[in-house]
A and B are shown apart, each in its own frame.
Chain A
Amino acid sequence: MNLTLKIWRQKGPQDKGQMVEYKVTDISEHMSFLEMMDVLNEQLVAKDEVPIAFDHDCREGICGMCSLHINGEPHGPDRGITTCQLHMRTFKDGDTIYIEPWRAKAFPVIKDLIVDRMAFERIQQAGGYISVNTSGNTQDANAIPISKHNADLSMDAAACIGCGACVASCKNSSAMLFVSAKVSQFALLPQGKVEAADRVRNMVKQMDEEGFGNCTNTGACEVECPKGISLENIARMNREYLKASII
């Protein structure tokens, strides 16, 4: 298939940047979106042009590195997938595809389609962990009884790969789905309960300081999340936060 691509090009953080049009030909419908980008970059290199910078790593939907806002949606039009799992058969021959970086003040563009997602790391560092010593004297995991129900919910929350699609899709650039997944995965387990109050307070504080917007419950994040993280996590985080602040 032949496609017209309108891609955001930006030389560096200070550059203004602009959309540039490219044509690609002979794209196989079995290719992933990133492979299509590889083909385009090979063409650019052959013409002595600077290839387009975009993030990627595992290319199997588990690392959260690939991003791209495709035709107005993070990870493109399909549901429950990352961009590396998006197939070109989702598009039609002759289509025009818009490709942009994640847009949020807290995710500044580094180059072309790559944004700086360190804000997520700093939120994690503010409390997304449990302080246990794991060197040598670890307990048997089954020594602490955990209900199946909570273990499942915690596992679902832990599926978040920190990609940032929730922020990218949200009209408010809110990071609540990400933060609530990280808060929930611990809050649901006995090991996480010990530091639950400090965790939620510190992570929310860091989230606010990074300049993410405030959730208005539009639900866009849940629809666009490649890992199906549920809005229930945001309600849980709000409960945890209220408990930690008031009681």
Chain B
Amino acid sequence: MSGFLSSSIARKVAMALSALFLIFFLIIHLAVNLTSLFSEEAFNQASHFMGTNPLIQFALQPILIFGVVFHFVMGFVLELKNRASRNVNYVKYNGAASASWMSRNMAISGGVILAFIVIHFLDFWIPELNTKYVVGDMSGYIEGTTNYRYYEELQHKFASPVKVGIYVVAFVLLALHLMHGFQSAFQSIGFNNKYTSCVKSLGKWYSILIPLGFIIIALFHHFNH
């Protein structure tokens, strides 16, 4: 973490690269989950593949976890350093006059996403690990049957209106995080040129459509179980 990563710009770039990786991951994650809207069979197949493929489980998944942890640890480190760089605050500070709410509150939207990720892990990931590696059942079947368990479990998870509410709120904050973050990541890695207006509109579409997709999935299974 010292050396190269002790400079402000290097940290920014590392932050941006981890964020771009997460942006890519969300596309894959949404694509898999979207199958659950159309076909129980397809969702079960996709989930079983993602959950048992060794390359995904033992190479990509650790990278993903490292990416998430790196991103929020670095995010909070930067936030604390940045706060410390103004030791006396303004009596009157009109931040809204020159910058968007999203850009000024990345730590708040990020904090909500982090809380969500913890809940999400307790919901899906920890039980998965338990079934597969503690109990040792790699079959992916509902106990005593030869039917896949994934779709069944998914519907069960979204039964509670409170949980669906938490999901919706978290994804709205993810949208706000990305509305600033998407284009910010490109600026951080030094990408600001004639394509920047495309990056900005792509970022807007991405930050609305991806969270909206997750919200639709949560609501769909809440009302359809």
A residues apposed to B, CB below 8 Å: 6, 8, 19, 69, 71-73, 77, 98, 100, 103-106, 109, 169, 171-174, 176, 204-205, 207-208, 211-220, 223-224, 231-232, 234-239, 241-242, 245
Contact = CB atoms under 8 A, between A and B. Distances in A.
B103 A235 contact: no
B120 interface: no
Contacts of B160: none
Contacts of A216: 78, 82, 103, 106, 184
B92 A237 contact: no
17 contacts: A6-B91, A71-B92, A98-B92, A103-B88, A105-B86, A172-B86, A173-B82, A213-B85, A215-B188, A217-B103, A220-B99, A223-B98, A224-B98, A235-B187, A235-B191, A238-B12, A241-B10
A223 B99 contact: yes
A155 B213 CA distance: 46
Interface size class on chain B is 35 or more
B82 A172 contact: yes
B91 A98 contact: yes
A214 B91 contact: no
A231 B99 CA distance: 13
A207 B191 contact: no
A126 B73 CA distance: 31
Contact of B4 (A98, A236, A239, A245): A245
A192 to B, nearest CB: 18
Nearest to B184: A217
B192 A235 contact: yes
B89 A103 contact: yes
A19 B188 CA distance: 38
Contacts of B190: 235-236, 238-239, 242
B90 A69 contact: yes
Nearest to B84: A105
B87 interface: yes
Given A72-B92, A238-B12, A238-B190, A219 B82 contact: no
Contacts of B85: 104-106, 172-174, 211-213
Contacts of A231: 187, 192
B86 A207 contact: no
A207 B11 CA distance: 14
Centre residue among B9, B10, B91, B188 by max chain A CB count within 10 A: B9
Nearest to B95: A171
Contacts of A106: 85
B176 to A, nearest CB: 14
Interface in B173-199: 180, 183-184, 187-192
Contact of B12 (A215, A219, A232, A245): A215
Centre residue among A8, A72, A106 by max chain B CB count within 10 A: A72
B8 interface: yes
A137 B88 CA distance: 50
Nearest to A224: B98
A77 B99 CA distance: 14
B2 interface: no
A179 to B, nearest CB: 10
Given A217-B187, A231-B192, A19 B98 contact: no
B58 interface: no
Given A98-B92, A235-B191, A236-B190, A245 B99 contact: no
Contacts of B104: 171, 218
A228 to B, nearest CB: 13
A106 B84 CA distance: 11
B82 A214 contact: yes
A224 B88 CA distance: 20
Centre residue among B11, B87, B192 by max chain A CB count within 10 A: B192
B115 interface: no
Contacts of A220: 95, 98-99
B103 A218 contact: yes
A174 B191 contact: no
Given A217-B184, A236-B192, 15 more contacts: A72-B92, A72-B94, A72-B95, A72-B97, A169-B98, A174-B85, A205-B7, A213-B86, A214-B11, A219-B98, A220-B98, A220-B99, A235-B191, A235-B192, A238-B188
Interface string B59-100: 000000000000000000010011011111111111101111
